[in-house]
Structures are given as C-alpha cells and as structure tokens.
Structure 1
C-alpha cells in the first residue's frame, strides 16, 4: 500500500493482470459480437419472412430478452448450466442479448433498400433466395455497419458484468489486484484508460463510416 494519491510503480505492477483480463474482455467482445451479428440477422429474417407460428414465439423471446437486465440473464444462465464454462456462458449471453437489438438494426437496413430494386428483381423473375442473397442483404448489411459498430462498443463496455459469473475480465482483474494490495486507484485508472483507448478511436471510426455511408 502506498501513501500518495498515485504511484507509477503500483500502476506498472497492476498492468500484467489487467492485460490478461483485457485478453478475456477482448475474447468475450469479439465472440459475443459474432454471435450477435449472425443471430440478429437470423431473427430479422425470421420475423420478416416466416409465418405467425414462428414469428410470434421469436417476437416474445426478443421482448423477454430486451425487458430483462443483462446482469440477471448472465446469472440466471450461469446457475441453470453449472457445468458449462463461465466464459462460454458469458460470450453466449452477451451475443444473444445484443442479437435482439441488432435484429432491429438489420430490419431497418432491409427496409432502407429501395422498393424499386425489389420490383426489378420480381420483374426479372429471380428466385426469392437469390433476391435476398444478391440484392437485398448486401445493401442491408452495408447500411447496418455503423449500427453494428456502435453496439460492438457498447458490448465492450458492458463486459465488466461478467464478474457476476466469476469471469476474470479486465475490471475484475483490477479489483482483485486492489483487494490484494489495497491500491485500487492505479489499477482502476489503468482499466478506465484502456477502455477509453479502445472505445474512443472505434467510435470515431464508426462516425466516419456513418458520414461516408450517408
């Protein structure tokens, strides 16, 4: 324990466990975002194309996920599946949670495709699967890239919730270091700076992407 407000020695000592936690944070974000991007597209297509026998239960599931906190979902699934590794549960719950929001982003992207292109594809008698694959989805995904980027940043900043299921991500690693040394200031400050160093440039990139697509 140091007597001053800040110690560079403590900051340097806290960095290795924090960087190991950052690796876990990055894995959870990347894997969770892949799940969210794929599942969100599936949900959007199902809710747009399938019959009521499927759209109704999918819609209810989406509303259930959106209406309950991510923290509650993590703990609930963790308790229901005690034999599954905590990081696997964390990535999956993050992915499913954000998929329900990305499905709306995809829906907006699909609806942004000009109506004339749908009509032209129909006039050319293109198979429905090819219309989606070659005409609609490429434009819809392009329109949704800024939204995907924003949600990726949000997911990255919500990974500290994984502490609730015993995953040692970056924030938890800093807390554990502080508990062992009674020096929380340096460790938590380093975590905040890493979050800022990753999130802020990414948000600028997303903003530039939005301006370019606009």
Structure 2
C-alpha cells in the first residue's frame, strides 16, 4: 500500500479540530476527576456513616462499570430524567466522573500516608477540622500523590477516544469519519502517531516530577 501525503494534507484541518476536542475533553475531565476525587476521599475518610457508606457504594459502582457503558448511559438515559448534554459535555462528565473514583483512591492513600503525629499536633494546637485539612493534611497528602495523579491523566488521554461513540469527534472520530469517506488509512495512522507524540513526553515529564518530589 502506497502512502499518500496528499491524503494527509487534506485531513489535517479536521485533525486539528479533533485535537481541540480531545484536549478539551482531557482538560475539563481532569479538572472534574481531581476535584471530585478529593471530595470522595475526604467524605470516605472523615464523613459520618450516612455519608461514607453511600459514597463508597457509588464510587465502587462507577469504578467497576465500563466507561463506555457510563457514556451511553449519560448520553441516552440521563436526558430522559434531566437536561440534555452535548456529546462533548457528556464525554467530559463521563471521563471526569469515571476517573474521579480512581483519583479518590490515590488521595485516600496520600491522606493515610500522613504521619499520625501530624493529626495529633493539629489537635494539640486546637486547630479546627477545616484548618487541619487545608493547612496540615492536604498539603502533605497531595504532594505525595502528584505522580500517581499524573499517570491517570495519561490514562484518561488514552481513554478519550471512547467519546467518539456518542458523537464527540475527537482525533479518532475525525480520522474514522475521514477514512470511511475516502477509503484510506493515512488519517488513522496520523492519529496513532499523535497519541504517542502527546503521551510519551507527558510520561517523561511525570518521571522528572516524581524524582523532584522524592528529593
């Protein structure tokens, strides 16, 4: 099979449109995952039983359900009960909600890794619960788990093509549509290389960050 650069050149405008959708899904999904994951972790760690039990049940259910099923549920079932979301918004919510259950476990491990003496010192100083969390516990816990959180960003990038199935034309969606229209494979190859180009430097950056935090 001969490689046709003309096909690639024709595909590039649509490729950049797909890159924009992919980065939007990744960026907003990461923000939701990191924020909501912290809420899950704190609720499971310090909330009353009436909060801990439902939160644990919800996070376990989401974590043990395929992302693809969750995307279809958000896109086809939720609108029957509430507001209708665009494919991109649905993808962002789905990615963020799914990965928040994983980041919650990362946060929980970081919180449990804070020495007991830090909690005792905060109690001895009569710090409020809110001040203890914001000034003593979370700064230490989050610093410990930054590399692990970064790994989930890379994992989310690799899972982001699944939003194509609900109509959000990310890089893969644009390539798949273009390939079906032109009966070529160059677009799919370009997208495969693009994921490597984005993910590999991110992985190297995470390794550098991890070494710096260890020091």
Q: Which residue of 1 aligns with 2:44?
A: 47
- 2:123 aligns to what? 122
| Secondary structure in 1 matching 2:85 | coil
Unaligned runs of 5+ in 1: none
Instruction: Output the CA distance in 2 between the equivalents of 1:44 and 1:139.
Output: 15
- The correspondence of residues 25-174 of structure 1 with structure 2, limited to 5 A, is 25-82=22-79, 83-174=84-175
1:24 and 1:169 in contact (8 A); partners too: yes
TM-score (norm: length of structure 1): 0.95
Q: CA deviation at 1:117?
A: 1.6
For these two proteins, the number of residue pairs brought into alignment is: 210
* TM-score, length of structure 2 as denominator length: 0.94
Distance in 1 (alpha carbons) for counterparts of 2:10 and 2:165: 25
Q: Distance in 1 between matches of 2:151 and 2:44?
A: 23
Q: How far apart, CA to CA, are the structure 2 residues paired with 1:130 and 1:84? A: 37
1:14 and 1:177 in contact (8 A); partners too? yes
Instruction: Please list every run of 5 or more consecutive structure 2 residues that lacks an aligned counterpart in the other structure.
Output: none
> Any idea what the Cα deviations from partners look like across 1:64-119, whole Å, max 9, x if unmatched?
11111000110011111342211111100110100000000000111121222222
In the TM superposition, residue 54 of structure 1 has moved relative to its aligned partner by 1.1
2: CA distance between counterparts of 1:212 and 1:118?
26
Which is worse superposed, 37-46 or 77-86?
77-86
Deviations 1:115-135 (A, max 9, x none): 222221111111121111101
- Structure 1 Cα separation of the partners of residues 176 and 116 of structure 2: 53
Pairwise CA distance, 1:37: 0.3
Alpha-carbon distance in 2 for matches of 1:211, 1:191: 31
What is the CA-CA distance between 1:36 and the residue it aligns to?
Answer: 0.4
